[in-house]
């Protein structure tokens, strides 16, 4: 730990630089545990360095994604549990870049807090490193900013970004490949993931009921909602390795099916999704009845049990489903592609 840098004046203003040094010392071994070939240098420099391997690639394309955890963090504050929100942060970034067929290379995080509590920072970064390992990518840098007077002492914000790479000829390109008659493989979610929490917190009055137990959940409300977002990198990687001809991928985040599925669609085609083809998780029933939310709004806000939608040829449906199961990520055939300009039709 740096013992030479200290400032009584800065500490009097609410910023403890020595706490920052302690936090870095705590997270260094966590960060190092994510290193993969290509990482250059150690944590502590001014910029994370990574040397990508272009072997076998004709035209390497870098794909990036950035996101945060949103107001799901309020639940972590209430429960004083900070070990999984880092997984959410990584997931929200790597799940986006995998939609183009890019494999994550590295991740950087940004934590802004009212007070730097090294043990809490360590918990958060532990979750980030867990997410990186699930994604086969390296955590090569980040920033922790102590901002007294801007954030309450026991609160923080968490965001990050990921960079991945794919050969241009192997990109998942719906405009070039998607066609009428393709089927849609829906990969299951773990629950609400990291979207829609402003609505969730309102209708469930989370601040007062996070510890309520629900028999249908077999869990407390808070524990259920804090489940981390599924990372789909390994499953998509296995589908490609098995020879599945993926024509499009959509990460179902905020905006649900109505906003996200059209983002992967080829012009002139529409995805038809039958909601009766996959089970609805109990947490969504609780949210809907508690807020008296119309069914269409539910599918326009939440993932409803499907976190990733993959378009592929009909004759590869069995191969895709079997491969997904072997990758630890079960799914359902939830619809198909037809001609039309609606983008998506959701059948109830």
Specify the pLDDT at position 246.
Answer: 98
Q: Rounded to whole angstroms, how far apart are CA atoms 132 and 129?
A: 5
Q: What is the pTM of this model?
A: 0.95
Query: Could you tell me which residues come within 8 angstroms of residue 152 by beta carbon, excluding any fewer than 6 positions away?
Result: 114
- Relative to beta strand 213-214, strand 219-220 is antiparallel
- SS3 of 94, please? helix
The closest of 46, 163, 51 to 107, measured between CA atoms, is 163
pLDDT tens-digit series, residues 9-28: 556 667 777 888 888 899 99
Specify the pLDDT at position 9.
Answer: 57
Residue spans of alpha helices (H) in 197-300: 197-204, 206-209, 221-225, 233-241, 256-260, 282-291, 295-299
**Tokens at residue 35, please?**
């290193």
Specify the pLDDT at position 20.
Answer: 82
What secondary structure does DSSP assign to 144-155, as a single string?
EEE-BTTB-TT-
pLDDT average per 10 residues of sequence, the chain (348 residues):
61 73 91 97 88 96 98 98 98 98 98 97 98 98 96 97 97 97 98 98 97 96 98 98 98 98 97 97 98 98 98 98 97 98 97
Q: Rounded to whole angstroms, how far apart are CA atoms 96 and 68?
A: 12
Map tokens 């940004």 to a residue.
110
Q: Rounded to whole angstroms, how far apart are CA atoms 296 and 229?
A: 23
Q: Rounded to whole angstroms, how far apart are CA atoms 182 and 192?
A: 27
Q: Rounded to whole angstroms, how far apart are CA atoms 156 and 123?
A: 13
Query: Could you tell me which residues come within 8 angstroms of residue 65 by beta carbon, excluding any fewer than 6 positions away?
Result: 92, 93, 94, 96, 97, 161, 162, 164
Q: What is the DSSP letter of 229?
A: P
Q: What is the DSSP letter of 248?
A: E
Specify the pLDDT at position 1.
Answer: 56
pLDDT tens-digit series, residues 114-172: 999 999 999 999 999 999 999 999 999 999 999 999 999 999 999 999 999 999 999 99
Q: What is the DSSP letter of 56?
A: T
Specify the pLDDT at position 6.
Answer: 63
């Amino acid at each position: 730990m740096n013992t030479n840098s200290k400032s009584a004046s800065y500490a009097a203003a609410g910023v403890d630089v020595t706490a920052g040094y302690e936090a870095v010392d705590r997270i260094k071994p966590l960060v190092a545990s994510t290193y993969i070939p290509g990482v250059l240098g150690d944590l502590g420099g001014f910029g994370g360095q990574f040397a990508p391997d272009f072997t076998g690639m004709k035209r390497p394309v870098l794909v990036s994604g950035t996101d945060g955890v949103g107001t799901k963090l309020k639940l972590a504050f209430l429960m004083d549990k900070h070990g999984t929100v880092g997984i959410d942060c990584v997931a929200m970034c790597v799940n986006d870049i995998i939609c183009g067929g890019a494999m994550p290379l590295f991740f950087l995080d940004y934590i802004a807090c009212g007070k730097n509590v090294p043990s809490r920072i360590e918990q958060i970064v532990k979750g980030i490193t867990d997410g990186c390992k699930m994604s086969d990518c390296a955590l090569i840098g980040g920033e922790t900013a102590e901002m007294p007077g801007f954030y309450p002492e026991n609160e923080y914000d968490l965001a990050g970004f990921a960079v991945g790479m794919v050969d241009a000829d192997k990109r998942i390109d719906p405009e070039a490949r998607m066609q009428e008659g393709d089927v849609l493989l829906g990969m299951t979610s773990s629950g609400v993931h990291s979207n829609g929490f402003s609505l969730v917190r309102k209708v469930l009055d989370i601040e007062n009921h996070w510890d309520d137990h629900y028999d249908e959940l077999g869990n407390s409300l808070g524990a259920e909602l804090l489940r981390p977002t599924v990372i789909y990198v390994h499953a998509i990687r296995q589908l490609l390795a098995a020879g599945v001809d993926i024509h499009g991928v959509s990460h179902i985040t905020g905006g649900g099916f109505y906003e996200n599925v059209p983002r992967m669609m080829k012009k002139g085609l529409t995805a038809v999704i039958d909601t009766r083809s996959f089970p609805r998780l109990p947490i969504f029933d609780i949210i809907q009845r508690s807020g008296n939310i119309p069914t269409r709004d539910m599918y326009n806000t939440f993932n409803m049990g499907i976190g990733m939608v993959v378009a592929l040829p009909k004759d590869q449906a069995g191969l895709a489903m079997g491969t997904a199961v072997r990758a630890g990520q079960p799914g359902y055939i939830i619809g198909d592609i037809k001609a039309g300009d609606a983008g998506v039709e959701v059948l109830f």
